[in-house]
Structure formats: C-alpha cells, structure tokens
C-alpha cells in the first residue's frame, strides 16, 4: 500500500474520487481547445497536451501533439510499460514536492466544471457478460423453476453475448425510451409499442489494452496484461421487449438502444490495493479457467434514482467483489476459441447484485418484477424507470484512508418519440 501521507500540490477534497493515487484518463474539450487527453485530479483536469508542450514529458519521446487526441486508443496502445512510466511521472509532477509544474498551474489545470467530457475510447467491439451468481439466480427464480434457477452451463463458463458498440454513450447523454415488440402473457399476438418496463443494470466494464491475432488465446495468468482499466457501465434494458425476443438467441433490441459509461478510465494499477478474493467456485472449473491470486476488487457501488424536479433516492448499494466470474476468467474464456481483440474493445461485467435485496443491481430485482414498488421521497412509486427520471451509478474503492473512485455515470430518460 502507498504511504497515506503522499499528497498533491493540487487541492483534493477529502472525499474526492480523484486522489493522486488514482489519476484516471479521459477525453475532454473546452471553449479554448478541441478534444485532448486529460487526467482527473481533485476537481481539476490536468491537460496532458499542455504538460507535454511545456517539456515535462520529453523523456518519453512522444510525437508532438500526441495528447491532442480524440480517443485514448493510441495512448493505451503504447503498452503498459510505457503508460505505467508516464503515470509514475505524472504522480511525481503532481506531488507536493514538485516545484516546477506548480509555476504553470493556470496553464495545465482546468476546473472539471468547465470542460466537456467525451467517450474515452473508440470502442470497436463490446461484449456483455452475465457473471453475478446472485443476479442470475434471481432472474432464473423469477422466470423459471426456482429449484433450477441457474441453467446447467452457468457454473462452468462465463456466459456472455456480443453487444452493440455503436450505442455506448458518455455519461450525461439523454436516453430515448425505445420502441419494440412485446407480448403480454394473456395475449395471442405481440404488439409494437414503447417499452413499458425500462430498467438499468449496474455494471462495470474493462477496456482491452493490448491487441491479439486471430487464433491467439489469452490465459488467466496473462489476462491482466491485456486489461488497461475500468469504467462504470449502465446497460439500459427494456425488459418487456427482452422477454419476448430473447428466445433462442438472447437480447437484441432490448439492449442495443443504449448503454452509458463514466468518462474517466481508471487504470488497473490504481486498483491494485483493493484486490480481494472472489466467491468460491463450485464445481471446480476447467483448467483454462483456473486463476491464482486475488482477482476480484473491493469497489463500492451505489445507484441513485431522481425524478425530474425531485429528490434523489439511493435505491441500491452493491460491490464489484461479489462477481462469481472475474475479469481474467472472462477474457480467457472469450479468447479460448481464438477470437481476436483490439485496443479499446470493451467487456462489461453483467449486472452486479449481492445477496441482500438492498444490493440488487436492477429494478427487475429491486422491485421483484414490479411486485414490490420503491417509494420515492415525493411519495410516488417506481416499479420500473419512468420518463424524465435520471439514473446515476457511482463507484469507489477506499482503504486505509486512500480513495480511488470512478466518478459517476448518469442518464435521463426521455419519452418515446
């Protein structure tokens, strides 16, 4: 663990997600500058293009204007040995002992409140997993025989499906309620109408940091070399559309209309102090899925629901450590058939639910298919998400006074067109 006395010359509020131990990367623009790479520190954004221009990163011999980029992909593609060295240099430049960069603080720092954030990476492909045993059990109990809630394959492999990368949007993007086919249980024919059972899914996602060739496999022991960092992920879901369409190939229109991510990409190195063991896996997994060491992360998560003009209510508190299948197993399974990966590809965890009802990661579970509505501060009830509601996910890890957070990902639901 790092020395908790390590401080920055930048003012970092006590409960800030963006301590000097974090230094997540993002893409921002301002009235003065087009898109470029920044690092979050406290309530500020460190403009890496300006830091390079002033000569503080000359030792890395990067092309002029390297950080004036629309996405982080080229930076990530430098490789972990180089990006880790740059991160160490930034930590040094931002430390309390630094004297030179401080003189240029007005040039290199911008308030986060004055910049616009953009998608951090160009996402070529996106895969969504289904890796919380509590979530899978809850859904199986609701829709199938409770005695056989988990399908036969679930404990043997990380179930996943290929999603739609084009509809992944940055936090703050408004989401239009989708249309689709659905069919009531007592109806003879389906109807075409706006989604009635709109839901969120509390997830996290990792960004692939190293490309592979077609036919190449990634082992669980190699997987962390291929994971650059993580974001918060809200996989919006149209439950009534999904129920009708998912047999036999799984979700399609019910998921592809939108997924929202947080703007700051937290490097895996920043999460090192928060490693924990995962749940026991029974029966024993096949050899290619066996992993050693602490592969889960203690990341506290919460979900807030806010009606338009009303007060937000925290409706769920969960934790990423609950995941049955860890990221290394997900990546090893995904590549075991030789599927190739590119820098910037994104893999989401699937809904993160704990054992307690207060830790469930979707409205489907929190209200148990709408039978247990949530009472809001204004007295209204929510079975699923209503028009003009804003849904916000937050996440952070904290240990021995050190906090590394993800900020938030939020989205407001607009009425169907």
Of 33, 135, 156, 333, which residue is the catalytic one? 135
In three-state secondary structure terms, 382 is strand
Pairing of strands 126-129, 346-348: parallel
Alpha-carbon distance of 211 to 326, in angstroms, equals 20
Alpha-carbon distance of 39 to 83, in angstroms, equals 13
Alpha-carbon distance of 404 to 402, in angstroms, equals 7
Q: Active site includes 135?
A: yes
Provide the terminal-to-terminal Cα distance of the chain, rounded to the nearest Å.
52
**318 to 112, 226, 321, 373: CA distances (angstroms):** 27, 26, 9, 19
Alpha-carbon distance of 240 to 255, in angstroms, equals 11
Binning the chain into helix, strand and coil, the percentages to the nearest 5 are: 25, 30, 50
Long-range contacts for 243-247 (Cβ within 8 Å, ≥24 apart)? 243/143, 243/182, 244/181, 244/182, 244/183, 244/190, 245/180, 245/181
* Residues designated as active site: 135
């Amino acid at each position: 663990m790092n020395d908790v006395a390590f401080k920055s010359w930048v003012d970092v509020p006590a409960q800030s997600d963006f301590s000097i131990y974090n230094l997540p990367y993002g893409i921002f623009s301002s009235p003065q500058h087009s898109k470029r790479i920044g690092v979050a520190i406290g309530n500020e954004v460190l403009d890496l293009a300006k830091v390079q221009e002033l000569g503080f990163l000359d030792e890395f011999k990067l092309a002029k204007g390297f950080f004036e980029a629309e996405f982080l992909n080229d930076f990530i593609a430098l490789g972990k040995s180089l990006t880790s060295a740059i991160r160490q240099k930034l930590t040094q430049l931002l430390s309390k002992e630094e004297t030179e960069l401080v003189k240029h603080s007005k040039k290199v720092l911008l308030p986060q409140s004055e910049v616009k954030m953009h998608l951090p990476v160009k996402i070529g492909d996106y895969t969504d997993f289904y890796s919380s045993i509590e979530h899978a059990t809850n859904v199986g109990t609701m829709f199938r025989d409770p005695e056989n809630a988990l399908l036969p394959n679930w404990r043997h492999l990380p179930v996943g499906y290929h999603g739609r990368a084009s509809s992944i949007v940055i936090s703050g993007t408004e989401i239009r309620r989708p249309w689709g086919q659905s069919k009531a249980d007592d109806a003879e024919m389906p109807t075409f109408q706006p989604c009635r059972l709109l839901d969120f899914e509390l997830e996290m996602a990792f960004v692939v940091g190293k490309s592979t060739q077609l036919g190449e496999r990634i082992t669980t022991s190699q997987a962390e070399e291929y994971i650059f960092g993580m974001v918060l992920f809200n996989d919006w879901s149209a439950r009534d559309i999904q129920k009708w369409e998912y047999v036999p190939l799984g979700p399609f229109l019910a998921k592809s209309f939108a997924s929202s991510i947080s703007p700051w990409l937290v490097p895996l190195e920043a999460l090192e102090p928060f490693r924990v063991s995962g749940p026991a896996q029974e029966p024993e997994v096949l050899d290619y899925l066996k992993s050693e060491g602490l592969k889960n992360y203690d990341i506290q998560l919460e979900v807030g629901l806010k009606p338009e003009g009303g007060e937000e209510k925290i409706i769920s508190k969960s934790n990423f450590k609950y995941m049955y299948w860890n990221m290394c197993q997900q990546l090893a399974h995904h590549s075991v058939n030789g599927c190739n990966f590119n820098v910037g590809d994104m893999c989401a965890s699937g809904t993160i639910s704990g054992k307690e009802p207060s830790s469930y990661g979707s409205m489907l579970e929190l209200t148990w298919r709408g039978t247990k509505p949530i009472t809001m501060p204004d007295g209204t009830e929510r079975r699923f998400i209503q028009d003009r509601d804003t849904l916000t996910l937050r996440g952070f890890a904290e240990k021995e006074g050190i906090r590394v957070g993800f900020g938030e990902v939020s989205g407001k639901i607009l009425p169907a067109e």
